[in-house]
C-alpha cells in the first residue's frame, strides 16, 4: 500500500492541461503534457521519515514512441530520460517506479518532458516508504 497518493491534476503544471477525455484515471482527471520539451508536473509529497522511498508514476502513452522524462527531487536530478514507453492506448495506464532518497516532511518531485512529443499523460504519483 502506498503511503501517499498525489493526483497530477492537483499538482503544479507547466505547459500542460488537466483533462478527462480518456478512461481509467483516478481522481478527477490526468495531466496531458503539451507536446514540447520542458513541459512538467511538480508535486509536493510528504515523507514520514528521511530515507529511501519508491516513487511510482501512473501514466498512459497511446503512441509507440517513448516519452522519456527527467525526474528531479528537491531540484536535484534523480533520473535522466526516465523511460515512459507506449502503453497501447490512452486508456491503458502503467506504472514507472524508481527509488529515491527523501528528507522528512515536504519534498518536491518534478517530471519534465525531454522530447518535442512532451510527456505521457500522467494520472498520479504514489509514494511508498519501507
Q: What does the binding site for ligand GCU look like in residue numbers (CB under 6 A)?
A: 22, 32, 35, 90, 118, 121
**Residues comprising the chain, all counted:** 130
Query: Residue 68 or 118: which CB sits closer to ligand GCU?
Result: 118
Query: Residue 107 or 121: which CB sits closer to ligand GCU?
Result: 121
Rounded CA gap, 11 and 126, in Å? Answer: 13
Query: Residue 23 or 46: which CB sits closer to ligand GCU?
Result: 23
Min. distance of Cβ 41 from ligand GCU in angstroms?
13
Min. distance of Cβ 127 from ligand GCU in angstroms?
24
Q: How far is CA 120 from CA 51, 105, 127, in A?
A: 28, 28, 19
Tally Cβ neighbours within 10 Å of residue 129.
15
| Cell triple for 78 | 534523480
Amino acid at each position: 500500500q502506498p503511503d501517499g497518493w498525489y493526483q497530477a491534476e492537483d499538482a503544479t503544471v507547466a505547459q500542460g492541461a488537466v483533462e478527462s477525455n480518456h478512461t481509467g484515471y483516478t481522481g478527477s482527471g490526468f495531466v496531458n503534457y503539451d507536446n514540447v520539451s520542458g513541459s512538467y508536473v511538480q508535486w509536493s509529497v510528504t515523507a514520514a521519515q528521511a530515507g529511501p522511498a519508491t516513487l511510482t508514476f501512473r501514466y498512459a502513452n497511446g503512441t509507440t514512441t517513448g516519452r522519456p522524462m527527467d525526474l528531479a527531487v528537491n531540484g536535484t536530478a534523480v533520473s535522466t530520460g526516465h523511460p515512459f514507453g507506449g502503453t497501447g492506448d490512452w486508456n491503458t495506464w502503467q506504472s514507472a517506479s524508481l527509488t529515491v532518497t527523501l528528507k522528512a516532511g515536504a519534498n518536491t518531485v518534478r517530471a519534465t518532458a525531454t522530447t518535442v512529443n512532451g510527456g505521457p499523460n500522467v494520472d498520479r504519483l504514489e509514494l511508498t516508504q519501507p
